[in-house]
Chain A
Amino acid sequence: MQSIPTLADIASADRKVDAHRPWPRAIVGADVWQNIAGQLASSQWTLSGLWGDTGAVHMALLDAATNEMAVVSTDCPNGKFPSVALYHSPAIRLERTIQDLFGLEAENAPDPRPWLDHGRWGERHPLGARDSLADTEPYAFLPVIGEGVHQIAVGPVHAGIIEPGHFRFHANGEALVRLEARLGYTHKGVEALMRGADLERAAKLAGRVCGDSTVAYALAFARAAEAALEAEVPARAHWLRALMAELERLANHLGDIGAICNDASFSLMQAHCAVLRERVLRAADICFGHRLMRDCVVPGGVAEDLPAGKATVLRELLAEIGRRFPALVELYDNTASLQDRTVATGILKPALAQQYGAGGYVGRASGRSFDARRALPYPPYDRLTFEIPVLEKGDVDARVWIRIHEVKQSMMLIEQILGGLPNGAIRGAIPRGTGEGMAMVEGFRGDILAWLRLDADGRVARCHLRDPSWFQWPLLEAAIEGNIVADFPLCNKSFNCAYSGCDL
């Protein structure tokens, strides 16, 4: 039996790309590519990304045992490459996306249906060899056969103020037999707009991929660009970036905890959590000039310094949350009617979370402890003390509790950052040059992967941003099975997957 090669073996055995930083990239033949794909299901590797390029495909791998990363690439002669999804189902939608955007075909792919392309762009394969629009067939949802099974179609326009997506339920009475999501409605062609953009514009685009994670996305993009160019970032900038990232996490978790309870018709929690969230946004506005801190993280550092004396605003914020939040946690914990809805609802099994490499609260509520801040530490997290909460139950309740614990951790982190914030410059010079860079950053929802290649003018030749929800959306479909239709909003909110982040 063939022994499982390590990432280092792969990277050294084949054509290594020198200008790829900080992790290695190797160009492999189709046979090695297929071999890796075949071992994804059984080895310690986690598929962390799969994306197209001009005449090639790339796959990001995470070695869960050693926390090392690598990218392997293979050329696509005749526009084809061996399917990864054939062996490893988390790759299905990623391959469908490569097909839609680049026209590169995954051979023997288990699901050849389009994903982002709804036949509305007036063309096909916008990032590959552009092609005129072909006749599109109606989208075929996966079938369910059985007595009494009926369909419920929801979306893309939903009842609330949320992002658009279509959900096709197959239900038997009240019980859900199958949920299938169809997304892509918010596709804006970000990766095409990235091509040829200078770093400034590209960073702004990255910050507009997913509104609630604008800091995390801008940070992932900036770190990838800095890796490619070997740019130095001043220490103060690192700390301010982490400060913004933790404020973002805090605001989103507070909002989510309230919103999940609201979807169980317990609006009291929502009212109180929304107040705390608003306080975070207002503090961010005072400190950095924007409520969501958009465009505050830039390649080389940060755009705005924390004004002198404004640390007090953040300390007061922490004190206020510290005063109010414990009572809300107690309210959540002691309200039987609410617990009745969240406990044992929408269970995601740990094995699935592991297989999909699910990040964020989705993974951590189902036993997968990965957190990019710890596993692939970037400054200043290597110098900060924090815990990563992990639970095994995998239900809505566990996902709420992970958020509650992370609220407390983020508050502690903000306190540490305010205490240790070094003085000095906030933005370093960005050298011009070419190169390939990659970064993994922990957003509130999970790990965001950014990969880019810069051309000789320092412009973006190709940039790929992989949202954590690529590996969470399919798990929602698994977690919902057997639950009642009325619990879908609750389960959905507890996952709170990104639409725009995945649709790009």
Chain B
Amino acid sequence: MRNLLFQGLVRLPLTEPRPAADDPELIALAAKLDNAARRRLGRSLSIREVDAGSCNGCELEIHALNNAFYDLERFGLKFVASPRHADVLFVTGPPAKNMREGLERTYRAMPSPKWVVAVGDCALDGGMFAGSYAVLDGVSAVLPVDLRIKGCPPRPQALLAGLLALMEAPASEHRTIHRTD
């Protein structure tokens, strides 16, 4: 173990250059994320994820955000275990009717202000499962959705870009929705 830890010290980090110099889009993205997070929530945003019937593909890519390449936490973004600690609810899945109550109760357990992100094509409108007796054709059938991230599943880069977009949007857009609960 000592060797491995030592190598970790001397090897260059894998974390992708916080915006690579040759990718202007990413430079802008990371810089914006940094500024926006600081302004809105003091550099930090806590995310609670709920699988509302996904195939697990979206979960795999959300997981990837935590690996050394994307290292989500360097941006002040982190996944939390309890909805009571969360600012953002990530929802995947069509959603399944069997998960409706679990999803609603998770949302209700979150303190305001809160944002809902529909992650993946299923969460958008039911995706390939739309029209089934067992699904609700989109997360917006259950909760007010602030942001949609497309993809089947979305790439980790798209998830990151989506989180940025959420923080960039004018606050008024979200708050009007969330004061109703």
In the complex, whether A291 has a CB less than 8 A from a CB of chain B is yes
Cβ A188 vs Cβ B67 within 8 A: no
A186 contacts B98, C-beta separation under 8 Å? yes
Q: Is B166 an interface residue (CB 8 A)?
A: no
The answer to whether B131 touches A163, judged by C-beta atoms less than 8 angstroms apart, is no
Across the interface, name the chain A residue whose C-beta is closest to B62.
A161
Residues of A with C-beta under 8 A to B62:
161
Residues of B within 8 A of A (CB-CB), count: 50
| Contact for B128 among A204, A210, A327, CB less than 8 A | A204
- B67: nearest residue on chain A (CB-CB)? A274
Q: A120-B100, A189-B133, A334-B1 are in contact. List 19 more A-B contacts (CB 8 A).
A: A120-B98, A120-B101, A126-B133, A160-B81, A161-B51, A163-B54, A164-B102, A188-B134, A193-B131, A211-B56, A214-B55, A214-B57, A268-B5, A278-B68, A278-B69, A292-B60, A327-B3, A335-B1, A503-B98
Mask, B55-94, CB within 8 Å of A = 1, is 1111111111011110000000001011000000000011
- Asked if A500 contacts B53 (CB within 8 A), the reply is yes
| A500 and B106 contact, CB distance less than 8 A | no
Within the assembled complex, what's the spacing in Å between the Cα atoms of A277 and B68? 11
A450 an interface residue at 8 Å Cβ cutoff? Answer: no
Q: Given the complex of chains A and B, what is the CA–CA distance between A389 and B151 in angstroms?
A: 37
Which residues of A pack against B, CB within 8 Å?
Answer: 116, 118, 120-123, 126, 156-157, 159-164, 184-190, 192-193, 201, 204-205, 208-212, 214, 255, 268, 271-272, 274-275, 277-278, 281, 291-292, 294, 327-328, 331, 334-335, 498-500, 503
A-B contact pairs, 27 of them (CB 8 A): A116-B98, A126-B133, A162-B59, A163-B51, A164-B50, A164-B53, A164-B99, A186-B99, A188-B132, A188-B135, A189-B132, A189-B133, A192-B134, A193-B128, A204-B128, A208-B152, A211-B55, A211-B153, A214-B55, A268-B4, A275-B67, A275-B69, A278-B68, A292-B57, A335-B1, A500-B56, A503-B96
List B residues 31-57 near A (Cβ within 8 Å): 49-57
* Cβ-Cβ contact count across A and B, 8 Å cutoff: 152
Instruction: Name which residue of chain B comes closest to A120, CB basis.
Output: B97
Whether A212 contacts B128 by the Cβ 8 Å rule is: no
Is the CB of B14 closer than 8 A to any CB of chain A?
A: yes
For the complex, what is the distance from the CA of A157 to the CA of B61, rounded to whole Å? 19
**Does A161 contact B63, Cβ atoms closer than 8 Å?**
yes
* Pairwise interchain contact A121-B56, C-beta atoms closer than 8 A: no
- Least CB distance from B132 to A in Å reads 4
Which of A187, A278, A294 touches B152 (beta carbons < 8 Å)?
A: A294
- Asked whether, in the complex, the Cβ of B129 is within 8 Å of the Cβ of A193, the reply is yes
